[in-house]
Protein backbone atom coordinates (compact mmCIF):
# COMPACT_ATOMS: atom_id res chain seq x y z
CA UNK A 1 0.00 0.00 0.00
CA UNK A 2 2.63 2.51 1.13
CA UNK A 3 4.63 2.57 -2.11
CA UNK A 4 1.62 3.00 -4.38
CA UNK A 5 0.16 5.77 -2.25
CA UNK A 6 3.21 7.99 -2.12
CA UNK A 7 4.96 9.99 -4.85
CA UNK A 8 8.72 9.87 -5.13
CA UNK A 9 10.68 12.37 -3.08
CA UNK A 10 14.22 13.77 -3.21
CA UNK A 11 17.07 11.30 -3.34
CA UNK A 12 18.90 10.26 -0.20
CA UNK A 13 22.08 12.15 0.49
CA UNK A 14 20.77 15.46 -0.84
CA UNK A 15 19.66 18.29 1.39
CA UNK A 16 16.24 19.46 0.25
CA UNK A 17 15.90 23.12 1.12
CA UNK A 18 12.14 22.82 1.29
CA UNK A 19 11.38 23.22 4.98
CA UNK A 20 9.37 26.45 5.23
CA UNK A 21 11.16 29.24 7.04
CA UNK A 22 8.40 29.31 9.64
CA UNK A 23 9.41 25.76 10.54
CA UNK A 24 13.14 26.42 10.82
CA UNK A 25 13.30 27.29 14.47
CA UNK A 26 13.66 25.27 17.65
CA UNK A 27 11.30 26.16 20.46
CA UNK A 28 14.07 25.66 23.04
CA UNK A 29 17.18 27.88 23.17
CA UNK A 30 18.63 29.67 21.29
CA UNK A 31 17.04 30.10 17.87
CA UNK A 32 13.45 29.82 19.06
CA UNK A 33 13.91 32.44 21.71
CA UNK A 34 15.15 35.02 19.24
CA UNK A 35 12.24 34.25 16.92
CA UNK A 36 9.70 34.46 19.70
CA UNK A 37 10.94 37.91 20.65
CA UNK A 38 9.75 39.11 17.26
CA UNK A 39 6.30 37.60 17.53
CA UNK A 40 3.47 40.12 17.98
CA UNK A 41 0.06 39.00 19.16
CA UNK A 42 -3.06 40.47 17.56
CA UNK A 43 -5.38 42.30 19.91
CA UNK A 44 -8.01 39.98 21.32
CA UNK A 45 -10.27 42.35 23.25
CA UNK A 46 -12.94 42.46 20.55
CA UNK A 47 -13.07 38.68 20.37
CA UNK A 48 -14.10 38.56 24.02
CA UNK A 49 -17.64 39.46 22.99
CA UNK A 50 -17.94 36.78 20.31
CA UNK A 51 -18.79 33.06 20.62
CA UNK A 52 -15.72 31.05 21.52
CA UNK A 53 -14.63 28.16 19.32
CA UNK A 54 -11.56 26.01 19.81
CA UNK A 55 -9.40 26.35 16.70
CA UNK A 56 -6.43 24.23 15.66
CA UNK A 57 -3.20 26.23 15.29
CA UNK A 58 -1.87 25.68 11.75
CA UNK A 59 1.74 26.16 12.71
CA UNK A 60 1.40 23.78 15.65
CA UNK A 61 -0.04 21.16 13.32
CA UNK A 62 2.96 21.59 11.03
CA UNK A 63 5.39 21.15 13.92
CA UNK A 64 3.79 17.84 14.87
CA UNK A 65 5.10 16.40 11.60
CA UNK A 66 8.63 17.76 11.97
CA UNK A 67 11.33 15.88 13.90
CA UNK A 68 14.10 18.23 14.95
CA UNK A 69 17.74 17.89 15.99
CA UNK A 70 17.91 14.11 15.79
CA UNK A 71 21.50 12.92 16.41
CA UNK A 72 22.81 10.73 13.58
CA UNK A 73 26.04 8.73 13.52
CA UNK A 74 27.33 6.17 11.02
CA UNK A 75 30.57 4.60 9.82
CA UNK A 76 31.51 3.37 6.35
CA UNK A 77 34.50 2.99 4.04
CA UNK A 78 34.40 6.69 3.14
CA UNK A 79 33.08 9.90 4.65
CA UNK A 80 30.51 10.30 1.88
CA UNK A 81 29.23 6.74 2.29
CA UNK A 82 29.03 7.26 6.05
CA UNK A 83 27.08 10.47 5.49
CA UNK A 84 24.56 8.80 3.20
CA UNK A 85 24.13 5.93 5.64
CA UNK A 86 23.68 8.26 8.61
CA UNK A 87 21.05 10.33 6.82
CA UNK A 88 19.15 7.26 5.62
CA UNK A 89 19.19 5.75 9.11
CA UNK A 90 18.14 9.10 10.56
CA UNK A 91 15.21 9.45 8.19
CA UNK A 92 13.97 5.99 9.16
CA UNK A 93 14.28 6.85 12.84
CA UNK A 94 12.59 10.22 12.28
CA UNK A 95 9.67 8.45 10.59
CA UNK A 96 9.18 6.19 13.61
CA UNK A 97 9.48 9.13 16.00
CA UNK A 98 6.92 11.11 14.01
CA UNK A 99 4.49 8.18 14.09
CA UNK A 100 4.94 7.68 17.83
CA UNK A 101 4.21 11.37 18.27
CA UNK A 102 1.03 11.69 16.18
CA UNK A 103 -0.53 8.19 16.21
CA UNK A 104 -2.85 7.32 19.08
CA UNK A 105 -1.98 4.37 21.29
CA UNK A 106 -0.55 1.34 19.52
CA UNK A 107 -2.49 1.90 16.30
CA UNK A 108 0.73 2.30 14.29
CA UNK A 109 0.79 -1.51 14.25
CA UNK A 110 -1.93 -1.34 11.58
CA UNK A 111 0.47 0.28 9.13
CA UNK A 112 2.38 -1.87 6.66
CA UNK A 113 6.18 -1.58 6.88
CA UNK A 114 7.65 1.05 4.56
CA UNK A 115 10.96 0.74 2.76
CA UNK A 116 13.41 3.61 2.34
CA UNK A 117 11.86 4.71 -0.95
CA UNK A 118 8.38 5.00 0.56
CA UNK A 119 9.65 6.82 3.65
CA UNK A 120 11.69 9.16 1.48
CA UNK A 121 8.58 10.02 -0.53
CA UNK A 122 6.90 11.20 2.67
CA UNK A 123 9.69 13.68 3.36
CA UNK A 124 9.14 17.30 2.47
CA UNK A 125 12.74 18.21 3.23
CA UNK A 126 15.56 17.86 5.70
CA UNK A 127 18.30 19.98 7.20
CA UNK A 128 21.66 19.10 8.70
CA UNK A 129 23.48 20.91 11.51
CA UNK A 130 26.62 20.40 13.57
CA UNK A 131 28.36 18.15 11.05
CA UNK A 132 31.44 16.27 12.28
CA UNK A 133 33.21 14.44 9.48
CA UNK A 134 36.02 11.90 9.75
CA UNK A 135 37.54 9.72 7.01
CA UNK A 136 35.19 6.82 7.82
CA UNK A 137 32.62 8.36 10.18
CA UNK A 138 29.88 10.97 9.94
CA UNK A 139 27.97 12.63 12.80
CA UNK A 140 25.43 15.43 12.72
CA UNK A 141 22.01 16.60 13.86
CA UNK A 142 19.16 15.98 11.44
CA UNK A 143 15.83 17.80 11.14
CA UNK A 144 13.21 16.10 8.97
CA UNK A 145 9.93 17.68 7.85
CA UNK A 146 7.28 15.22 6.69
CA UNK A 147 4.46 15.96 4.25
CA UNK A 148 1.41 16.31 6.46
CA UNK A 149 -1.13 15.69 3.72
CA UNK A 150 0.47 12.44 2.57
CA UNK A 151 1.10 11.16 6.08
CA UNK A 152 -2.50 11.83 7.07
CA UNK A 153 -3.78 10.18 3.89
CA UNK A 154 -1.71 7.10 4.66
CA UNK A 155 -3.01 6.95 8.22
CA UNK A 156 -6.64 7.43 7.21
CA UNK A 157 -6.38 4.79 4.48
CA UNK A 158 -5.26 2.29 7.09
CA UNK A 159 -7.87 3.30 9.67
CA UNK A 160 -5.29 4.71 12.08
CA UNK A 161 -6.41 7.45 14.47
CA UNK A 162 -3.95 10.30 14.83
CA UNK A 163 -3.44 13.75 16.30
CA UNK A 164 -4.61 16.41 13.86
CA UNK A 165 -2.31 19.06 15.29
CA UNK A 166 0.18 19.74 18.04
CA UNK A 167 -0.52 21.56 21.25
CA UNK A 168 -0.21 25.32 21.41
CA UNK A 169 3.10 26.85 22.54
CA UNK A 170 3.51 27.04 26.30
CA UNK A 171 5.99 29.03 28.37
CA UNK A 172 7.49 26.96 31.19
CA UNK A 173 8.27 28.73 34.45
CA UNK A 174 10.53 26.37 36.44
CA UNK A 175 10.72 27.17 40.17
CA UNK A 176 13.11 25.27 42.42
CA UNK A 177 11.81 24.92 45.98
CA UNK A 178 14.65 24.95 48.51
CA UNK A 179 15.09 25.34 52.27
CA UNK A 180 16.04 28.95 51.58
CA UNK A 181 12.87 29.59 49.64
CA UNK A 182 11.80 29.39 46.00
CA UNK A 183 14.44 30.01 43.33
CA UNK A 184 13.48 31.26 39.88
CA UNK A 185 16.06 33.39 38.07
CA UNK A 186 19.01 32.69 40.38
CA UNK A 187 22.04 30.88 38.98
CA UNK A 188 21.56 27.99 41.41
CA UNK A 189 18.14 27.09 39.97
CA UNK A 190 19.11 23.70 38.53
CA UNK A 191 15.51 23.13 37.43
CA UNK A 192 15.58 26.16 35.11
CA UNK A 193 19.05 25.14 33.97
CA UNK A 194 17.77 21.67 32.99
CA UNK A 195 15.06 23.21 30.83
CA UNK A 196 17.46 25.69 29.25
CA UNK A 197 19.95 22.95 28.35
CA UNK A 198 17.37 20.44 27.17
CA UNK A 199 18.48 19.29 23.71
CA UNK A 200 16.14 16.37 23.07
CA UNK A 201 13.64 16.40 20.18
CA UNK A 202 10.54 18.38 21.23
CA UNK A 203 7.23 16.65 21.76
CA UNK A 204 3.78 17.57 20.51
CA UNK A 205 3.67 20.75 22.56
CA UNK A 206 6.12 23.51 21.58
CA UNK A 207 7.91 24.50 24.78
CA UNK A 208 9.36 27.96 25.33
CA UNK A 209 12.01 28.42 28.02
CA UNK A 210 12.40 32.00 29.32
CA UNK A 211 15.74 33.70 28.86
CA UNK A 212 15.98 34.80 32.46
CA UNK A 213 17.26 38.20 31.36
CA UNK A 214 16.74 41.54 33.06
CA UNK A 215 13.30 41.95 31.47
CA UNK A 216 12.16 38.58 32.84
CA UNK A 217 13.55 39.36 36.28
CA UNK A 218 11.78 42.71 36.35
CA UNK A 219 8.44 41.30 35.21
CA UNK A 220 8.06 38.11 37.26
CA UNK A 221 9.53 36.92 40.54
CA UNK A 222 9.19 33.57 42.27
CA UNK A 223 6.49 34.81 44.64
CA UNK A 224 4.26 36.04 41.80
CA UNK A 225 4.94 32.89 39.78
CA UNK A 226 3.77 30.74 42.70
CA UNK A 227 0.77 32.94 43.48
CA UNK A 228 -2.89 32.52 42.65
CA UNK A 229 -3.17 35.61 40.44
CA UNK A 230 -3.04 34.28 36.88
CA UNK A 231 -2.74 37.61 35.07
CA UNK A 232 1.01 38.16 35.69
CA UNK A 233 1.68 34.66 34.38
CA UNK A 234 -0.43 35.15 31.26
CA UNK A 235 1.19 38.54 30.59
CA UNK A 236 4.59 36.91 30.92
CA UNK A 237 3.62 34.16 28.47
CA UNK A 238 2.28 36.71 25.97
CA UNK A 239 5.62 38.48 25.93
CA UNK A 240 7.07 35.26 24.53
CA UNK A 241 4.32 34.94 21.95
CA UNK A 242 2.30 32.30 23.83
CA UNK A 243 -1.10 32.22 25.50
CA UNK A 244 -0.36 29.38 27.92
CA UNK A 245 1.92 29.20 30.94
CA UNK A 246 3.16 26.12 32.77
CA UNK A 247 4.36 26.79 36.31
CA UNK A 248 6.55 23.90 37.44
CA UNK A 249 7.63 23.75 41.07
CA UNK A 250 10.30 21.12 41.73
CA UNK A 251 11.60 19.94 45.08
CA UNK A 252 14.55 17.59 45.58
CA UNK A 253 13.89 15.05 48.34
CA UNK A 254 16.71 12.55 48.68
CA UNK A 255 17.00 10.67 45.42
CA UNK A 256 13.63 11.88 44.16
CA UNK A 257 12.43 14.97 42.35
CA UNK A 258 8.88 15.98 43.21
CA UNK A 259 7.14 18.09 40.57
CA UNK A 260 4.00 20.15 41.06
CA UNK A 261 2.59 21.78 37.95
CA UNK A 262 -0.11 24.29 36.99
CA UNK A 263 -1.04 24.55 33.31
CA UNK A 264 -2.70 27.93 32.83
CA UNK A 265 -4.86 28.63 29.78
CA UNK A 266 -6.91 31.81 30.01
CA UNK A 267 -8.88 31.59 33.23
CA UNK A 268 -8.47 27.81 33.40
CA UNK A 269 -5.89 26.03 35.57
CA UNK A 270 -5.09 22.32 35.39
CA UNK A 271 -2.92 21.07 38.25
CA UNK A 272 -0.86 17.90 38.42
CA UNK A 273 1.81 16.28 40.55
CA UNK A 274 4.50 13.79 39.64
CA UNK A 275 7.70 12.30 40.98
CA UNK A 276 10.90 11.20 39.28
CA UNK A 277 13.26 8.78 41.02
CA UNK A 278 16.96 9.19 40.39
CA UNK A 279 19.38 6.34 39.85
CA UNK A 280 22.12 5.73 42.39
CA UNK A 281 25.28 7.42 41.29
CA UNK A 282 23.52 9.94 39.07
CA UNK A 283 24.20 13.61 39.61
CA UNK A 284 21.60 16.31 40.06
CA UNK A 285 21.72 17.28 36.40
CA UNK A 286 20.53 13.81 35.33
CA UNK A 287 17.61 13.84 37.76
CA UNK A 288 16.45 17.29 36.70
CA UNK A 289 16.82 16.31 33.04
CA UNK A 290 14.65 13.26 33.68
CA UNK A 291 12.12 15.61 35.25
CA UNK A 292 11.88 17.62 32.02
CA UNK A 293 11.31 14.36 30.13
CA UNK A 294 8.43 13.46 32.44
CA UNK A 295 6.74 16.83 31.93
CA UNK A 296 7.08 16.61 28.14
CA UNK A 297 5.58 13.10 28.22
CA UNK A 298 2.64 14.41 30.25
CA UNK A 299 2.02 17.27 27.83
CA UNK A 300 2.10 14.85 24.88
CA UNK A 301 -0.34 12.53 26.66
CA UNK A 302 -2.71 15.47 27.22
CA UNK A 303 -2.63 16.37 23.51
CA UNK A 304 -3.32 12.75 22.53
CA UNK A 305 -6.14 12.32 25.03
CA UNK A 306 -7.76 15.45 23.65
CA UNK A 307 -7.44 14.04 20.15
CA UNK A 308 -9.15 10.80 21.22
CA UNK A 309 -11.93 12.79 22.86
CA UNK A 310 -12.43 14.96 19.77
CA UNK A 311 -12.72 11.93 17.52
CA UNK A 312 -16.04 11.13 19.19
CA UNK A 313 -19.58 12.43 18.82
CA UNK A 314 -20.41 16.12 19.29
CA UNK A 315 -23.31 16.77 21.68
CA UNK A 316 -25.02 19.94 22.88
CA UNK A 317 -26.48 21.18 26.13
CA UNK A 318 -28.29 24.45 26.81
CA UNK A 319 -27.73 26.14 30.13
CA UNK A 320 -28.04 29.41 32.00
CA UNK A 321 -24.92 30.81 33.66
CA UNK A 322 -25.85 33.23 36.47
CA UNK A 323 -23.17 35.94 36.55
CA UNK A 324 -23.09 39.30 38.29
CA UNK A 325 -20.76 41.20 35.97
CA UNK A 326 -19.21 41.17 32.52
CA UNK A 327 -15.82 40.35 34.04
CA UNK A 328 -17.29 37.31 35.80
CA UNK A 329 -18.88 36.14 32.55
CA UNK A 330 -15.65 36.58 30.57
CA UNK A 331 -13.73 34.56 33.18
CA UNK A 332 -16.36 31.79 33.26
CA UNK A 333 -16.55 31.55 29.49
CA UNK A 334 -12.76 31.42 29.15
CA UNK A 335 -12.63 28.56 31.64
CA UNK A 336 -15.32 26.49 29.93
CA UNK A 337 -14.13 27.24 26.40
CA UNK A 338 -10.62 26.16 27.37
CA UNK A 339 -11.75 22.66 28.32
CA UNK A 340 -10.60 19.98 25.85
CA UNK A 341 -14.11 18.51 25.93
CA UNK A 342 -15.71 21.76 24.72
CA UNK A 343 -15.86 22.58 21.01
CA UNK A 344 -17.62 25.93 21.34
CA UNK A 345 -19.93 28.10 23.40
CA UNK A 346 -22.74 29.96 21.67
CA UNK A 347 -24.25 32.93 23.48
CA UNK A 348 -28.00 32.90 22.90
CA UNK A 349 -28.80 35.87 25.13
CA UNK A 350 -27.17 38.07 27.76
CA UNK A 351 -29.10 39.74 30.56
CA UNK A 352 -28.47 41.23 33.97
CA UNK A 353 -29.27 37.89 35.55
CA UNK A 354 -26.79 35.90 33.48
CA UNK A 355 -26.05 34.31 30.13
CA UNK A 356 -28.20 31.86 28.17
CA UNK A 357 -25.69 29.62 26.39
CA UNK A 358 -25.40 26.53 24.21
CA UNK A 359 -22.36 24.33 24.84
CA UNK A 360 -21.16 21.99 22.10
CA UNK A 361 -18.97 19.27 23.57
CA UNK A 362 -17.14 16.12 22.54
CA UNK A 363 -17.74 12.73 24.12
CA UNK A 364 -20.49 11.95 26.60
CA UNK A 365 -22.09 13.82 29.47
CA UNK A 366 -19.92 12.14 32.10
CA UNK A 367 -16.77 13.41 30.37
CA UNK A 368 -18.11 16.96 30.33
CA UNK A 369 -19.19 16.67 33.97
CA UNK A 370 -15.71 15.46 34.94
CA UNK A 371 -14.00 18.26 33.00
CA UNK A 372 -16.22 20.88 34.63
CA UNK A 373 -15.66 19.38 38.08
CA UNK A 374 -11.90 19.89 37.74
CA UNK A 375 -12.68 23.61 37.74
CA UNK A 376 -15.32 23.40 40.49
CA UNK A 377 -18.23 23.79 38.09
CA UNK A 378 -21.34 21.69 37.59
CA UNK A 379 -24.38 21.57 35.30
CA UNK A 380 -27.47 21.04 37.47
CA UNK A 381 -31.14 20.91 36.40
CA UNK A 382 -32.99 24.20 36.66
CA UNK A 383 -36.09 22.35 37.90
CA UNK A 384 -38.51 23.88 35.42
CA UNK A 385 -38.11 23.20 31.71
CA UNK A 386 -35.51 20.44 31.65
CA UNK A 387 -32.71 22.94 31.15
CA UNK A 388 -29.53 23.32 33.16
CA UNK A 389 -27.72 25.90 35.25
CA UNK A 390 -23.94 26.20 35.05
CA UNK A 391 -22.87 26.97 38.59
CA UNK A 392 -20.03 26.47 41.09
CA UNK A 393 -19.81 22.91 42.39
CA UNK A 394 -20.35 22.54 46.12
CA UNK A 395 -17.46 21.08 48.07
CA UNK A 396 -17.73 17.30 48.46
CA UNK A 397 -20.32 16.82 45.73
CA UNK A 398 -20.04 14.01 43.22
CA UNK A 399 -17.62 14.39 40.32
CA UNK A 400 -20.24 12.78 38.08
CA UNK A 401 -22.49 15.78 37.68
CA UNK A 402 -26.18 16.23 37.13
CA UNK A 403 -25.86 16.25 33.35
CA UNK A 404 -24.76 12.62 33.27
CA UNK A 405 -27.35 11.59 35.87
CA UNK A 406 -30.06 13.24 33.79
CA UNK A 407 -29.30 10.90 30.91
CA UNK A 408 -28.69 13.75 28.45
CA UNK A 409 -25.72 13.45 26.04
With cut-offs at 50, 70 and 90, classify the pLDDT of residue 372: confident
Cα dihedral 242, 245, 251, 256 in deg (nearest 10): -70
Please report the pLDDT score of residue 282 as a whole number.
72
Q: What are 86-96's pLDDT values in tens digits? A: 999 999 999 99
Q: What are 98-123's pLDDT values in tens digits? A: 998 888 878 888 899 999 999 999 99
The alpha carbon of 196 is separated from its chain's Cα centroid by a whole number of angstroms, namely 18
Rounded to an integer, the average pLDDT of 23-38 is 32
Instruction: Evaluate if residue 72 carries a pLDDT over 80.
Output: yes
CA geometry: angle 284, 299, 236, nearest 5 deg: 80
Instruction: Evaluate if residue 370 carries a pLDDT over 80.
Output: no
The alpha carbon of 170 is separated from its chain's Cα centroid by a whole number of angstroms, namely 7
Query: Coil, helix or strand for 168?
Result: coil
Cα dihedral 60, 63, 65, 66 in deg (nearest 10): 180
Instruction: Evaluate if residue 395 carries a pLDDT over 70.
Output: no
Cα separation of the two ends of the chain: 39
Listed range (38-42, 71-75, 79-83, 347-351) with the worst mean pLDDT: 38-42
Nearest to 47 by CA among 207, 243, 239: 243
Please report the pLDDT score of residue 237 as a whole number.
94
Per CATH, the number for 314-406 is 3.30.70
Nearest to 371 by CA among 343, 397, 340, 393: 340
Q: What are the boundaries of each domain within the chain?
A: 2-157, 170-309, 314-406
Please report the pLDDT score of residue 408 as a whole number.
58
Listed range (185-199, 237-251, 271-285, 319-333) with the worst mean pLDDT: 271-285
**Distance, CA of 310 to CA of 330 (rounded, Å):** 24
157 or 397, higher pLDDT? 157
Instruction: Evaluate if residue 398 carries a pLDDT over 50.
Output: no
Mean pLDDT for all residues in the chain: 78
Q: What are 377-388's pLDDT values in tens digits? A: 888 887 776 789
With cut-offs at 50, 70 and 90, classify the pLDDT of residue 373: confident
Rounded to an integer, the average pLDDT of 73-83 is 97
With cut-offs at 50, 70 and 90, classify the pLDDT of residue 205: confident
165 or 93, higher pLDDT? 93
Domain over 170-309 is classified CATH 3.40.50 = yes
Which H or E run includes 176? strand 170-178
**Which stretch, 131-135, 160-164, 373-377, has highest mean pLDDT?**
131-135
Rounded to an integer, the average pLDDT of 29-43 is 30
Do 228 and 216 form a contact (C-beta atoms < 8 A)?
no
Listed range (4-13, 52-61, 145-154, 305-314) with the worst mean pLDDT: 4-13
Instruction: Evaluate if residue 128 carries a pLDDT over 90.
Output: yes
297 or 34, higher pLDDT? 297
- How many residues in the chain? 409
Listed range (30-44, 313-327, 332-346) with the worst mean pLDDT: 30-44
Please report the pLDDT score of residue 222 as a whole number.
94
Do 164 and 149 form a contact (C-beta atoms < 8 A)?
no
The alpha carbon of 47 is separated from its chain's Cα centroid by a whole number of angstroms, namely 23
78 or 270, higher pLDDT? 78
Please report the pLDDT score of residue 300 as a whole number.
85
**Distance, CA of 199 to CA of 293 (rounded, Å):** 11
Helix/strand number for the chain, H first, E second: 14, 15
Amino acid sequence: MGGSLLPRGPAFGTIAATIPKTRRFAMLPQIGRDWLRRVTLAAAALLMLLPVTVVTDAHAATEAYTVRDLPIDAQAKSANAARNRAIANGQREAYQLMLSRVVLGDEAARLPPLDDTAINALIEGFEIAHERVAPTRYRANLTVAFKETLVRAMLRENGVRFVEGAGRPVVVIPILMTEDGPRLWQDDNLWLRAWSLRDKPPGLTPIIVPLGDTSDIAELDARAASGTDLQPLLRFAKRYGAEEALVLEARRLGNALQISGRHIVGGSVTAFADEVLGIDGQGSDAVFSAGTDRVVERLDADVKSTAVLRSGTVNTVRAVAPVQSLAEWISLRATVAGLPAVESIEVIALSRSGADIMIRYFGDAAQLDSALAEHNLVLRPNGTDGGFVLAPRQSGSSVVGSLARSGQG
